[in-house]
Structure 1
Amino acid sequence: MDPYPGLAADEHPHGLVNVPFDELVPHLRHADRIGLAPAVHAIGDRANERALDAMEAVQPGGWHGRASIEHAQLLRRDDLARFAALGIVASVQPEHAMDDRDVADLYWAGRTDRAFMLRDLAAAGVELALGSDAPVAPLDPWIAIAAAVGRSREGREPWHPEQSIDARIALAASTDGAGARVRPGMVADLAVVGRDPLAASADDLRRMPVALTLLGGRVTHDAL
């Protein structure tokens, strides 16, 4: 909403709109019409607000599926309830908080309590989907989980630890969800790990040893 400090008007002090609202809405209508779950890229608070506006314009009663906003890095507090009411998934990359914390403290000064609001999103009933944005961050779910739980890296003090989430929530947001259970006959993608992720420290999560993986029930890695 607010301009970046120290930037002139011709330096895009509010960031850039790549897809204007009046173009985004028809794109979303088309996706909805043909049964696609849209994913809208939005980082700043104004971008997220307008993305939600567009999604609400298309489906005022909420999206039934997995429509998402990708990144959702800076939010207005009022928009947490809108995410939940519209059924929009917040697809967040927690390791970006570790990558971007210094530049965020500079350009989002006074607003970083609203950055990577994982705990507040979860508390508001918003479905979280954690990812890596690879190759921007490493393609390793345990790194994302560790960043979400510990909000720290390389021994630094945790960055806004009030927005951390516990490992159970982070795992659910990195898999099929808290209610997923493996049953006979299911096609399963599984990982057998060397530590209990619900009891491991954030540092241990970041270095989680993986003993066995299965893709569609087929062994793809075996270190047992």
Structure 2
Amino acid sequence: MKKIIFSCLISTLFLSACIKTEKADLVVHNAKIYLLNTTFETAEAMAIKDGKILETGPERQILNKYSAQKVYDAGKMVVYPGLIDAHCHLWNYAKSLNEIDLSHTNSEEEIYDLIQKYIEENPDREWITGRGWDQNKWNPPTFPDNHILDSLFPGKKIVLTRIDGHAVWCSSNVLKLANINSGTQVKGGQILMKNGKPTGILIDNAMDKVTSLIPPLSDDEKKKLILKAQEKLFEQGITSIADAGTEEDILQLLKEMNSEGTLKIKVYSMIWISDSSQIDKHISQMPYRDKNLHIRSFKLMADGALGSRGACLLAPYSDSLNHYGTLIHSPVYIEKIARKIYNAGLQLNIHCIGDSANRVVLNVYGKILKQTNDFRWRIEHAQIVNEKDISKFRDFTVIPSVQPTHAISDKNWAATRLGERIKDAYRYQTLLNQNKIIALGTDFPVEDISPLKTFYAAVYRKNYDGSGQVFLPEEALSKKEALMGMTIWNAIADFEENEKGSLEPGKSADFIVLDTDLMECEAEQVLKAHVIQTFVNGKSVFKRNQE
């Protein structure tokens, strides 16, 4: 009798141990899950409910504890937190999907061919727009003019944006519409001349005179393009973005899409400062937070880009004597804007490429911030920083927000622009060491949207096919640092570290499944990796067809 009672007791205990005591919506298992917590641990499984992570841990622990409506077997693949792009341009990328893609061209002739093909396919279009040309890839690497554009495509109004978004190349009829002539000057911009006449190349603020003339798309057309862009970002494993300069019309569309439930990607918006009235208009409504839209920062431009010689340098360009680039706003104006944002307790993010622009802005930040703080003001790009200014990132707790793919795109010609100052450029490891944080982004559509290229460029700093020398190898990031710079550090830079950036209990279940372990694989495997599935708030938003 005692044996029977003992056997029943053992059976009861065994059965009770097998009962799953808690419910979840989704259990992910049979995976290597990089948690991105403070100890950089991995787990085998995780449970999710109501879009949040309940628990992570060993396979049997999670499977025995939770019953779930859905169980996802990752098949030994790798799970990472959803990737966060720290600096990109959502609308510019969405709009580019409706334009001629010039990013893969290597000569003027290729561009003319693409324009001709586009006109044949769209014969009724009066305005022809495109983006992505880069004269640094041509032979010779010089700016074009509009002479051939005019002769090949008479009557068409053509506006072609340079890869960096800091210059346009346009036909002469567009210049005429914009009332641009040999006597036109634009503060904070350049109108290039040849034989006393405008060439059609407009840089920085001068661009506005023609881009403002391009017929706008309807709101419905814009929304469709944004949704198309969203799909492509999910395919890349990007679940959150910091939109670096959201203009007023797009901000309103994002609010509408967020309310309608169609905005599924998480957007941290930096409001574009076209003038100080933009701050006055929004400041009383910030911080703004509603579902997938977060607004608590402003974006200002200090200078242009290195490729178009708009970046503001302390000394003249090595390949253009007596030319220093352009400081788009005066130090007095920058300080006025910064103080207003500081008094409101909000975040300021300023575009700085050249060493002069970085110095001006860091000095303004120092004057206002004075010491260690938690305002999390950022320098966007921080591309060329003089040695004397590096410590200011630490002194004033400034976050460097950089785009590693720029180093790869620029490395073949940057030294021509900078000479020996190249040692002050693309200093990612040096910048990281100031505050032990660096935010990594793509700057799409200036660069490819691929975060795998961001990872590769940050770690390996050489051509994507593996050829060539490593560019400034002492400034490379480790694999761990690169991954943190695409997840948790970006969440910190956006004041969102308590809800995303790592896979920990209580945080949003934003994660991706990859077929390659970036922490373990060789360099040549990184760009061959595939995002198998992307989840936002525990729901699948992309699944790769694995036929």
Q: TM-score, normalized by length of structure 1?
A: 0.91
What is the aligned partner in structure 1 of residue 476 from structure 2? 164
What SS does the corresponding residue of 1:38 show, helix, strand or coil?
A: strand
| Residues 80, 126 of structure 1: 8 Å contact kept | no
What SS does the corresponding residue of 1:90 show, helix, strand or coil?
A: strand
Q: RMSD between aligned alpha carbons?
A: 1.9
Q: Does 1:196 pair with 2:196?
A: no
| Residues 130, 174 of structure 1: 8 Å contact kept | yes
| Residues 21, 54 of structure 1: 8 Å contact kept | yes
What SS does the corresponding residue of 1:188 show, helix, strand or coil?
A: coil
What SS does the corresponding residue of 1:75 show, helix, strand or coil?
A: coil
1:183-222 equivalent positions in 2, closer than 5 A: 183-222=504-543
What is the aligned partner in structure 1 of residue 332 from structure 2? 22
What is the aligned partner in structure 1 of residue 438 from structure 2? 128
| Residues 371, 397 of structure 2: 8 Å contact kept | no
Residue 8 of structure 1: how far off its partner (Å): 4.4
Which fold has the larger relative contact order, with Cα–Cα distance below 8 Å and residues 6 or more apart in sequence?
2
Residue 181 of structure 1: how far off its partner (Å): 3.8
Whole-angstrom CA distance in 1 between matches of 2:335 and 2:410: 30
Whole-angstrom CA distance in 1 between matches of 2:329 and 2:373: 21
Match of 1:35 among 332, 335, 345: 345
1:15-164 equivalent positions in 2, closer than 5 A: 15-153=325-463, 154=465, 155-164=467-476
Deviations 1:175-194 (A, max 9, x none): 11399542333213211211
Whole-angstrom CA distance in 1 between matches of 2:473 and 2:395: 26
Unpaired segments of 5 or more residues in structure 1? none
How many aligned positions are there?
221
Deviates more, 1:55-64 or 1:119-128: 119-128
| Residues 4, 107 of structure 1: 8 Å contact kept | yes
| Residues 438, 489 of structure 2: 8 Å contact kept | no
Unpaired segments of 5 or more residues in structure 2? 1-313, 491-496
Relative to 1, partners in 2 of residues 1:76 and 1:192: Cα closer, same or farther, differing over 3 Å? same
Whole-angstrom CA distance in 1 between matches of 2:529 and 2:388: 36
Whole-angstrom CA distance in 2 between matches of 1:219 and 1:185: 19
Deviations 1:134-173 (A, max 9, x none): 1000112111111010101132221111211111001111
What SS does the corresponding residue of 2:419 show, helix, strand or coil?
A: coil
Report the residue type matching 1:186 in the other structure.
Answer: K
What SS does the corresponding residue of 1:213 show, helix, strand or coil?
A: strand
What SS does the corresponding residue of 2:400 show, helix, strand or coil?
A: strand
| Higher relative strand content | 2
Relative to 1, partners in 2 of residues 1:130 and 1:181: Cα closer, same or farther, differing over 3 Å? closer
What SS does the corresponding residue of 1:184 show, helix, strand or coil?
A: coil
| Residues 131, 174 of structure 1: 8 Å contact kept | yes
| Residues 84, 127 of structure 1: 8 Å contact kept | no
Residue 113 of structure 1: how far off its partner (Å): 1.8
Residue 126 of structure 1: how far off its partner (Å): 4.6
What is the aligned partner in structure 1 of residue 487 from structure 2? 175
| Residues 439, 489 of structure 2: 8 Å contact kept | no
Report the residue type matching 1:14 in the other structure.
Answer: Y
What is the aligned partner in structure 1 of residue 320 from structure 2? 7
What SS does the corresponding residue of 1:208 show, helix, strand or coil?
A: coil
